[in-house]
């Protein structure tokens, strides 16, 4: 008994401890010590039965006292490989050994897939058993399609060119009885169907020995290589034996696309706007025990997946946040790589828990493209939040003082000639210490020539003839102004 327990793996130890109501957490040495103490203190027929069952599933060749158990209602018979027609009368065959195989002591449950609906089970989960100590193992299984199954495949519609909606898929997972198992390829996997190798989706061989393919692994579609008749189909799986246990199963399924799931989502899982408002009110309800009162929650109208405006807002019912993501893009991404993880909080987001937010859908219809964020209030209402850049522009616009506009092109401003009037920046008449430029000449081509070299003092001194003569003498003594690159005086500016 003690030697049996010591030979168990971690999964076997966890199964044994869980069946006896003990904790199954910890390292392997902790699990072994806990199981040995259990054998010493509580030696019972139930414990003995569980240990022997686990040992028999671990070493199926060494003991033959336990009868093979299969799921009820599934007739399975195993037979050796032979070229004679009488040697392949069984409906299922695995691993190619001459004696009847021992099925796993505990049934393996595979996780259901959203993009596949299981119609029939052609081969239930059955463990891959190594035949020797080689690292590469070959296991075989054979099955036949009934006329009804073959007709379903022939008459099925095409999802894409060459891919039908009714398929026969091969699934591989760990041989573990704890919970449900996700698809997991063994190392160095290769699948041959009727002497033709088929494509393993998402698998890239590694140079390192014993490295499993990265998840998520997907079902392997073997339909194009099958005989759609009463002829027996033979599937050979090459896999790496590096100490882990795997089981395979073959199913007849109906495959869906992202568009199919989206149509199901629109028909079956839409949360009304009133229910969404109630959810918001519950989330923002005042808690007297809390020191912080939440008066609003900001929600972005930009999808966190593609950084674009939401088209069909979607949430996960089990998530605590109100932020939505786009349902169409989410389904399309999971069709390519089925992770089913919420893009907001990284929690599991299975298709069965997705729902379309009716309130956010209304908000998207009522707001323009420039509104990228809103705020939910305590009464269930909402208000748009403008962009911070727009707020900054409005703030600068409100701080800028208003100046009056003076039309210097008019012949008269406030009853004075433009050439003899000076106006300050505030629009009040009068001269200033800085001095406004004097205006000389007559308007030409809709503008007035302004001499920037004159100041208010020269205008005051130039009131009579003497002033004119002084200006004439000054202009005669002073050198001529330099010409610039263009044909006009450097100090003259034309104002329009």
Most confident residue range from 64-78, 104-118, 205-219, 282-296: 104-118
The overall pTM is greater than 0.75? no
Task: Residue 477: count other Cβ atoms within 10 Å of its Cβ.
Answer: 7
- Mean predicted confidence (pLDDT) in 254-261: 95
Lowest mean pLDDT among 6-10, 11-15, 263-267, 331-335: 6-10
Across 200-204, 289-293, 419-423, the highest mean pLDDT is recorded for 200-204
Assess whether the previous peptide bond of 216 is cis (omega < 30° from 0). yes
Poorest-pLDDT segment among 26-30, 34-38, 320-324, 483-487 = 483-487
Cα angle value 475/480/485 (rounded, 5°)? 145
Structure confidence at residue 1 (pLDDT): 63
- The per-residue pLDDT for 109 is 86
135 close to 209: Cβ distance less than 8 angstroms: yes
Q: Is the pLDDT of residue 488 over 80?
A: no
User: What pLDDT band is residue 28 in, cutting at 50, 70 and 90?
Assistant: confident
Task: Please state, rounded to an integer, the average pLDDT across all residues of the chain.
Answer: 75
Cα–Cα dist 305/302, whole Å: 9
Q: Does position 314 have pLDDT exceeding 90, yes or no?
A: yes
How far, CA to CA in Å, does 85 sit from each of 78, 81, 89, 94, 246?
A: 14, 10, 7, 17, 30
**Helix 273-284 × helix 358-366 angle, to 10°:** 100
Lowest-confidence region among 11-20, 148-157, 437-446: 437-446
Per-residue pLDDT at 58:
65
The total of other beta-carbon atoms located within 10 Å of residue 392's CB is: 10
Q: How many helices (H) and strands (E) does the chain have?
A: 12, 21
- Residue 106's pLDDT is 54
Q: In this model, does residue 62 exceed pLDDT 50? A: no
User: How far is Cα 335 from Cα 163, in angstroms, rounded to an integer?
Assistant: 15
Quick one: DSSP state of residue 466?
Answer: H
- Looking at per-residue pLDDT, the higher value among 463 and 248 belongs to 248
Bridge partners (DSSP) listed for residue 197 = 192
* First-to-final CA distance of the chain: 106
pLDDT at 401: 58
CA–CA dist 371, 380 (Å, integer): 19
Contact yes or no for 238/138 (Cβ under 8 A)? yes
More confident residue, 369 or 431: 369
The average pLDDT across 95-122 equals 71
Tell me the range of 160-164, 334-338, 430-434 where mean pLDDT is highest.
334-338
Q: How far is CA 412 from CA 415, 417, 458, in A?
A: 6, 5, 21
């Amino acid at each position: 008994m003690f030697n049996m327990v010591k030979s168990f793996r971690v999964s076997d130890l966890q199964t044994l401890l869980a069946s006896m109501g003990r904790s199954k957490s910890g390292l392997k040495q902790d699990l072994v010590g806990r199981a040995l103490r259990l054998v010493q203190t509580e030696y019972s027929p139930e414990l003995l039965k569980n240990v022997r069952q686990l040992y028999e599933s671990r070493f199926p060749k060494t003991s033959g006292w336990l009868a093979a158990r299969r799921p009820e209602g599934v007739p399975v018979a195993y037979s050796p490989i032979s070229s004679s027609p009488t040697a392949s009368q069984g409906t299922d065959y695995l691993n190619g050994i001459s004696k009847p195989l021992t099925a796993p002591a505990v049934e393996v449950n595979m996780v259901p897939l959203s993009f596949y609906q299981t119609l029939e089970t052609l081969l239930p989960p059955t463990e891959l058993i190594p035949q020797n100590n080689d690292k590469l193992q070959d296991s075989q299984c054979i099955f036949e399609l009934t006329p009804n199954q073959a007709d379903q495949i022939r008459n099925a519609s095409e999802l894409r060119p060459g891919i039908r909606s009714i398929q026969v898929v091969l699934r591989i997972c760990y041989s573990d009885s704890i919970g449900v198992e996700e698809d997991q390829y063994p190392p160095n996997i290769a699948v041959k169907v009727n002497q033709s190798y088929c494509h393993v989706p998402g698998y890239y061989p590694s140079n390192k020995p014993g490295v499993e393919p990265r998840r998520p692994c997907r079902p392997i579609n073997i339909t194009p290589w099958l005989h759609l008749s009463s002829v027996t189909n033979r599937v050979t799986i090459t896999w790496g034996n590096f100490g882990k246990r795997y089981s395979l199963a073959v199913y007849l399924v109906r495959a869906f696309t992202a568009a199919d799931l989206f149509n199901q989502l629109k028909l079956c899982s839409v949360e009304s706007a009133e229910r969404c408002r109630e959810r918001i009110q519950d989330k923002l309800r005042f808690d007297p025990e809390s020191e912080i009162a939440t008066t609003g929650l900001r929600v972005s109208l930009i999808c966190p997946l593609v950084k674009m405006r939401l088209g069909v807002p979607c949430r996960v019912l089990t998530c605590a946040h109100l932020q939505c993501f786009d349902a169409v893009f989410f389904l399309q991404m999971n069709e390519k790589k089925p992770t089913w993880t919420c893009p907001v909080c990284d929690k599991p987001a299975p298709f069965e828990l997705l729902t379309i937010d009716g309130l956010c859908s209304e908000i998207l219809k009522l707001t323009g493209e420039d509104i990228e964020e809103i705020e939910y209030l305590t009464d269930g209402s909402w208000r748009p939040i403008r962009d911070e850049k727009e707020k900054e522009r409005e703030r600068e616009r409100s701080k800028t003082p208003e100046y009056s506009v003076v039309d210097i092109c008019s012949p008269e401003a406030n009853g004075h000639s433009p050439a003899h009037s000076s106006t300050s920046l505030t629009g009040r008449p009068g001269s200033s210490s800085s001095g406004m430029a004097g205006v000389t000449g007559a308007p030409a081509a809709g503008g007035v020539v302004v001499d920037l070299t004159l100041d208010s003092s020269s205008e005051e001194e130039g009131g009579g003839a003497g002033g004119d003569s002084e200006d004439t003498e000054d202009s005669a003594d002073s050198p001529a102004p330099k010409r610039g690159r263009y044909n006009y005086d450097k100090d003259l500016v034309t104002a329009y």
